[in-house]
Structure 1
Amino acid sequence: MINKMQILSLTALGNLDAYIRYANSWPMLSAEEEKLLAERLYYNGDLDAAKTLILSHLRFVIHISRNYSGYGLPQADLIQEGNIGLMKSIRRFNPEVGVRLVSFAVHWIKSEIHEYVLRNWRIVKVATTKSQRKLFFNLRKTKQRLGWFNENELRIVAQELGVCSEDVREMECRMSAQDISFNPFPDDESSDRKLTTVMTHLRDNTSDFANGVEEDNWEMHATNKLTNALRILDKRSRHIIRARWLNENNKITLQEIANGYGISAERVRQLEKNAMKKLRTAIEA
């Protein structure tokens, strides 16, 4: 496939208006021309055909990227991400499906722009799951029409988007929140103001690191004692204890063990009882 930088450099270098004029200077392809080029790429790996398909569709990327200008992100970056989606779509386009390339590519173009917006709109991500991403972009469009939601508007939006009211309210709160620096004061040694950070005043009441370490140490200690205690048992008794108590995924019955050793289930129970007494004595010592 054509080198990405050959396309991306058009937005990274020079004037954006010059890039838009360049993109619009490429003629739009007829259905027959597009199919011929797509077949050359699909069947023969023709890179010149791929380049022509990309350049003739740059105008569509520009058009789609304008729909995302309200997020406060550079238009050139939005176009650049859309171009990546365009190239991905051309690499996957099958000319035998019977649809125009732009109809197929629009999903890939929007997908790359969506990912860019979610990565860069805020320092803290507002949407991580697929459903949250869909709600984020749909809610942006809806809020342009309704503004801030009251309870009635909240129910209407939730019904329109096919989600519950709580999800809409949570996403609205995320979108209206502002990022706050952990160090809002300038790091200037000449300043008389004493430096401090928000992190200095944070306390996590849900975590107790000391207790966690103590529990881990005790678990390791208990495991070591049990391992040493098992060594005093004979091979058969050790196997019975492991099969009956230490194998969580596949515990077996007394009868199954008895069948394996050719003895009665009652004899296995007696061996198990004696082995448990020896283990208890060894562990408590």
Structure 2
Amino acid sequence: MTPSTQSLALSSQSLVAAISNPGSLGTIESYIGTVNRLPMLTQQQETELGERLRDNDDLEAARQLVLSHLRLVVSVSRQYLGYGLPHADLIQEGNIGLMKAVKRFDPARGVRLVSFAVHWIKAEIHEYVVRNWRMVKVATTKAQRKLFFNLRRMRPDGQTLDPEQIAHIARELNVKPEEVSEMEVRLSGQEMALDQPHDDADTYAPIQYLADDGSEPTQVLERRAHDALQGEGLAEAIEQLDPRSRRIVEARWLQDEGGATLHELAAEFGVSAERVRQIEAAAFKKMRAVLA
């Protein structure tokens, strides 16, 4: 182990637990200050550590690669402070992306870890922001995510977009104009609790303005028709059956407790169980026709 690598290992003991909880060092400023004091790896050191991790699953090598790039996570996470989420949480998610990048890092590709890791760090932070920015998820498709992270920057002075601006943004981001308009509406809207209490007795929470589907006239009529179909309609359909078919249906399906089996009815009518099944199927077909 080279002197600078050894210094990195010795000076970073308190950061091992802090990777998953940046606030554990006291304040986020303390964490950032500690991270920025860690020495960076040279390309040769990075290559050696990467080979040890790739060839031998060396966890110590992985730890040193992660710790030496924590400052990168801090730098990337600052780009997402405008979404109103805690900086410590953004760093924590970025650290997860960094660890995923280190696990997949192969120095034989000739790419420095910093270039490889930045994409994984952003991916984890993107997922966290989309998942937690609002209670209702605003971006699910690839196009919506692209718009979510670029539209505010591309919208001049936060003003409402006109058709020409919408078309320009759609071309720049390779999305549909209607997707731009939809995301603009989503970003402009504000969340409101359905049962938000009000001090004013004359005002009502939004939930009180929602329609009760159970009292909607068409729903009431449909329920009545369904109940009639199950009662009067079923009785009428059974009346259309011949005595043997009616006996089989009633014995099999209209008993309060376990109905008769095919073999019990076969013995009663002196036919095979398969014949009873065929009579039952024909009876159901005729009953469905009557109910229709």
Alignment of 1:129-140 (within 5 A): 129-140=141-152
Supply the distance in 1 between the matched residues of 2:57 and 2:224 (Cα, whole angstroms).
59
CA displacement, residues 195-226 of structure 1 (integer Å, 9 cap, x when unaligned): 8532121016698766479769969x98xx89
Supply the distance in 1 between the matched residues of 2:151 and 2:55 (Cα, whole angstroms).
42
Equivalence for 2:61 = 49
CA distance 1:238–1:163, change in 2 (3 Å): same
Equivalence for 1:23 = 35
Is the aligned partner of 1:200 residue 2:208?
yes
CA displacement, residues 227-274 of structure 1 (integer Å, 9 cap, x when unaligned): 9499799748968x98xxxxxxxxxxxxxxxxxxxxxxxxxxxxxxxx
CA distance 1:13–1:228, change in 2 (3 Å): farther
| Percent identity for Structure 1 against Structure 2 | 44
Equivalence for 1:91 = 103
Report the TM-score, using the length of structure 2 for normalisation: 0.69
Contact 2:213 2:219 in 1 (8 A): no
CA distance 1:68–1:236, change in 2 (3 Å): same
Contact 1:146 1:153 in 2 (8 A): no
Aligned residues: 246
Q: Which moved more, 1:164-173 or 1:116-125?
A: 116-125
Equivalence for 1:110 = 122
Equivalence for 2:136 = 124
Contact 1:4 1:84 in 2 (8 A): no
CA distance 1:93–1:213, change in 2 (3 Å): farther
Alignment of 1:1-285 (within 5 A): 5-143=17-155, 147-185=159-197, 193=201, 196-203=204-211, 211=222, 228=249, 235=274, 279-280=285-286
Distance apart, 1:64 and its partner CA: 0.8
Contact 2:93 2:124 in 1 (8 A): yes
Equivalence for 1:245 = none
**AA aligned opposite 2:166:** L
CA distance 1:103–1:173, change in 2 (3 Å): same
Local SS of the residue matching 2:20? helix
Supply the distance in 2 between the matched residues of 1:176 and 1:213 (Cα, whole angstroms).
44
Distance apart, 1:109 and its partner CA: 0.6
Local SS of the residue matching 1:86? helix
Contact 2:22 2:88 in 1 (8 A): no
Supply the distance in 2 between the matched residues of 1:68 and 1:124 (Cα, whole angstroms).
19
**AA aligned opposite 1:14:** G
CA distance 1:284–1:152, change in 2 (3 Å): closer
Supply the distance in 1 between the matched residues of 2:288 and 2:223 (Cα, whole angstroms).
27
CA displacement, residues 135-172 of structure 1 (integer Å, 9 cap, x when unaligned): 21121221257743112111111111112211101100
Supply the distance in 2 between the matched residues of 1:63 and 1:48 (Cα, whole angstroms).
24
CA distance 1:165–1:182, change in 2 (3 Å): same
Distance apart, 1:119 and its partner CA: 1.7
**AA aligned opposite 1:116:** Y
Contact 1:185 1:195 in 2 (8 A): no
Supply the distance in 1 between the matched residues of 2:171 and 2:137 (Cα, whole angstroms).
25
CA distance 1:236–1:80, change in 2 (3 Å): same
**AA aligned opposite 1:202:** L
Contact 2:50 2:107 in 1 (8 A): yes
**AA aligned opposite 2:36:** N
Local SS of the residue matching 2:183? helix
